[in-house]
């Protein structure tokens, strides 16, 4: 029998209801256990939780102006575990006058996300578009210095809060030339991109640094090949690049193609992570959404998928109804397809290895008990799940061993101590099983539950 703790506000129930609850709990436990056996289907019920069980994130672009819309934030908080500010971190927003930085709207999104355990993608530090007027009219070495100062200031301001930065956005020409886009930044010298990456690395050494672009999905296209060659060159010369973002705005003129998976895996083979950064698909066909997610899951270094908005009415291409929720916030068929793909997904190019065989740890408890179990393990990271019994409003403290880092959590609200190694996870109404992904960074020590208390 489960001990009832002080602060346990569960309603007391009669014998029949108790039997039903016990049966339901047993079924849930069976489903949950199955979910964490490598290679089997899992039972996540939201995009973020299901993606996290696969060691991935599922994100969305967020507009600060919509955070006061309850329908919008309900879906955001329920479904997503990563956010990208849609416009609030761009150059015109963060440095409207030269040397005068403005972070209010970006911070609103960052705080909303991080206080709920969501990670943040930073978008974008250097771009030919959405430049403030003062920058648009600059050129030469003055522009180069201003651009590098911008990268340094913004990346420094958000240091430690952004897991991945789109350092440079859309620097290549469309069409068949494979050339760099002719922009004021490009005219400062061909090395402007690598200069931006080096400045970003110095400013925030802990963030992944990405190159991000559109129409780079089709492996046979000149633009895709041009970006690939740049990344290969950067890797060979030690330019600090960690990831490539594929915006993936698909429509009738620029459709999804089946070689998309080849594109993702070919870039990953260069030694960079890949991320689907701005996904939307004209008409939101369920099958295409499913394919995109399956392609990401098939590539071990595909970290996650971000859709470019929540409801169709939030989209920059609203008339194409390209998103997962309709304008009233209801789930579309594409949503179900994405969730199913996430729950069915395996990582065939990087099969999980056998989890450590040490028995589950049951630490001494105060008024509740938290049991940590190993689940899926990949080449660079592993998942753990913690089952809490004895309380619904619990707080569990878990520690990982440096240089391990927790990269993702689900079914709880985490906060961190200053070292970043001790996570305090609080219940958020998602039940009594929470999970997290630990980046091993070469150390495979099991995380340890330090305490379980009733909040």
Q: Which residues contribute to the site for ligand 9MR (CB under 6 A)?
A: 86-87, 129-130, 169, 214, 247, 278, 316
Whether 170 sits among the annotated catalytic residues: the reply is yes
Instruction: Compute the least distance from the CB of residue 319 to ligand 9MR, in Å.
Output: 14
Judged by beta carbon, residue 130 or residue 186, the one nearer ligand 9MR is 130
Cβ of residue 129: shortest distance to ligand 9MR, in angstroms? 5
* Least CB distance to ligand 9MR at residue 63 (A): 7
Shortest Cβ distance from residue 339 to ligand 9MR (Å)?
A: 24
Spot the catalytic one: 53, 170, 194, 294. 170
Reply yes or no on whether 136 is catalytic: no
- Minimum distance from residue 170 beta carbon to ligand 9MR (Å): 7
Cβ 341 vs Cβ 313: under 8 Å:
no
Closer residue to ligand 9MR in complex, CB, 165/214:
214
Residue (251 or 344) nearer to ligand 9MR, CB: 251
With respect to ligand 9MR, which residue has the nearer C-beta, 32 or 131? 131
What distance in Å separates the CA atoms of residue 419 and residue 402, rounded to the nearest whole number? 9
Output the residue with the shortest Cβ distance to ligand 9MR: 316
Residue entry with tokens 């959404």: 289
d(CA 216, CA 178): 11
Residue closer to ligand 9MR by CB (options 169, 343) is 169
Could you give the CA distance from residue 81 to residue 435 in angstroms, rounded to a whole number?
A: 13
Q: Please say which residue, 130 or 184, places its beta carbon nearer to ligand 9MR.
A: 130
**What minimum distance in Å lies between the beta carbon of 78 and ligand 9MR?**
22
Nearest approach in angstroms of CB 88 to ligand 9MR is 10
Closer to ligand 9MR by Cβ: residue 317 or 450: 317
Sign of the CA dihedral 94, 96, 97, 98?
positive
Yes or no: say if 223 and 174 are a contact pair by the CB < 8 Å rule.
yes
Catalytic residue, candidates 53, 79, 86, 278: 278
Catalytic positions are: 170, 278
């Amino acid at each position: 029998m489960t001990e009832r703790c002080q602060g346990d506000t569960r309603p007391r129930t009669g014998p029949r209801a108790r039997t039903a609850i016990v049966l339901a709990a047993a079924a849930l436990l069976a489903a949950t256990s199955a979910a964490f056996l490598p290679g089997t289907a899992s039972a996540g019920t939201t995009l973020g939780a299901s993606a996290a069980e696969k060691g991935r994130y599922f994100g969305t672009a967020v507009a600060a102006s919509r955070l006061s819309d309850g329908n919008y934030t309900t879906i955001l908080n329920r479904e997503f575990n990563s956010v990208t500010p849609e416009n609030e971190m761009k150059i015109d927003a963060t440095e409207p006058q030269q040397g005068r930085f403005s972070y209010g709207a970006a911070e609103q999104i960052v705080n909303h996300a991080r206080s709920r355990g969501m990670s943040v993608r930073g978008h974008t530090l250097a771009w030919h578009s959405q430049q403030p007027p003062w920058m648009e009219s600059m050129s030469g070495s003055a522009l180069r210095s201003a651009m590098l100062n911008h990268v340094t200031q913004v990346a420094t301001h958000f240091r430690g809060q952004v897991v991945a930065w789109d350092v440079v956005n859309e620097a290549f020409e469309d069409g068949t030339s494979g050339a760099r886009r002719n922009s004021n930044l490009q005219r400062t010298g061909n090395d402007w991109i690598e200069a931006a990456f080096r400045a970003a690395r110095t400013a925030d050494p802990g963030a992944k640094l990405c190159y991000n672009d559109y129409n780079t999905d089709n492996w046979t296209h000149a633009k895709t090949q041009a970006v690939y060659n740049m990344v290969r060159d950067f890797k060979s010369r030690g330019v600090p690049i960690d990831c490539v973002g594929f915006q993936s705005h698909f429509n009738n003129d620029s459709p999804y193609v089946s070689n998309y998976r080849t594109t993702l895996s070919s870039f990953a083979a260069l030694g960079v992570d890949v991320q689907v950064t701005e996904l939307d698909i004209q008409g939101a066909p369920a099958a295409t959404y499913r394919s995109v997610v399956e392609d990401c899951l098939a590539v071990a270094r595909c970290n996650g998928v971000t859709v470019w908005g929540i409801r169709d009415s939030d989209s920059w291409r609203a008339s194409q109804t390209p998103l997962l929720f309709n304008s009233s916030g209801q789930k579309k068929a594409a949503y179900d397809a994405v969730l199913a793909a996430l729950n069915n997904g395996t990582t065939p190019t990087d099969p999980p290895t056998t989890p450590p065989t040490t028995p589950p740890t049951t630490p001494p408890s105060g008024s509740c008990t938290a049991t940590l179990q190993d689940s899926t393990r990949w080449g660079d990271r592993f998942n753990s799940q913690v089952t809490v019994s004895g309380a619904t409003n619990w707080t569990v403290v878990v520690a990982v061993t440096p240089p391990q880092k927790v990269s993702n959590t689900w079914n709880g609200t985490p906060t961190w101590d200053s070292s970043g190694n001790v996570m305090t996870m609080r219940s958020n109404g998602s039940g009594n099983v929470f999970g997290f992904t630990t980046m091993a960074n070469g150390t495979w020590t099991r995380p340890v539950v330090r305490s379980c208390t009733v909040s």
